[in-house]
């Protein structure tokens, strides 16, 4: 499963703008004013995660390689 990448949200950066949740609702959720993330998203959702990484105003989302 080489392309099954992991994704993370840095809780120190996240300000709960929730753009990630709009862009990738399968992967992100909001809990206690912080984005939570499905760490090992379905590869089909990777484009949505990429969009969220780009859109996050805090650059809090990153792929873990
Ligand atoms: S878009 Fe960024 S700042 Fe906003 S909830 Fe998602 S991770 Fe947090």
Q: Residue 16 Cα, ligand 1 centroid: separation in angstroms? A: 5
Query: Given this model, what pLDDT does residue 9 score?
Result: 96
Q: What pLDDT band is residue 58 in, cutting at 50, 70 and 90?
A: very high
**Given ligand 1 and candidates 11, 13, 19, 30, which is best to mutate, with the most ligand atoms within 8 Å of its CB?**
19
Q: What pLDDT was estimated at residue 2?
A: 52
Q: Is 61 exposed, middle or buried (0-12, 13-18, 19+ CB in 10 A)?
A: buried
Give the SS3 label for residue 60. Answer: coil
Q: Please list, residue by residue across 4-27, b when 16 or more beta carbons sit within 10 angstroms of its beta carbon and e when fewer do.
A: eeebebeeeebeeeebbbebbeeb
Give per-residue pLDDT as tens, 15-39. Answer: 998 999 999 999 999 998 999 999 9
Structure confidence at residue 4 as a pLDDT band (50, 70, 90): confident
15 lines ligand 1 (CB under 6 A): yes
Domain ranges of the chain: 6-64
- If one counts every other C-beta atom within 10 angstroms of the C-beta of residue 50, the result is 15
Architecture in CATH of 6-64: 2-Layer Sandwich (3.30)
């Amino acid at each position: 499963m080489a392309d099954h990448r992991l994704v993370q949200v840095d809780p120190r950066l996240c300000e709960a703008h929730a753009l990630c949740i709009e862009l990738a609702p399968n992967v992100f959720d909001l809990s206690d004013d912080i984005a939570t993330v499905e760490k090992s998203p379905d590869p089909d959702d990777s484009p949505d995660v990429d969009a969220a990484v780009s859109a996050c105003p805090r650059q809090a989302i990153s792929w873990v390689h």
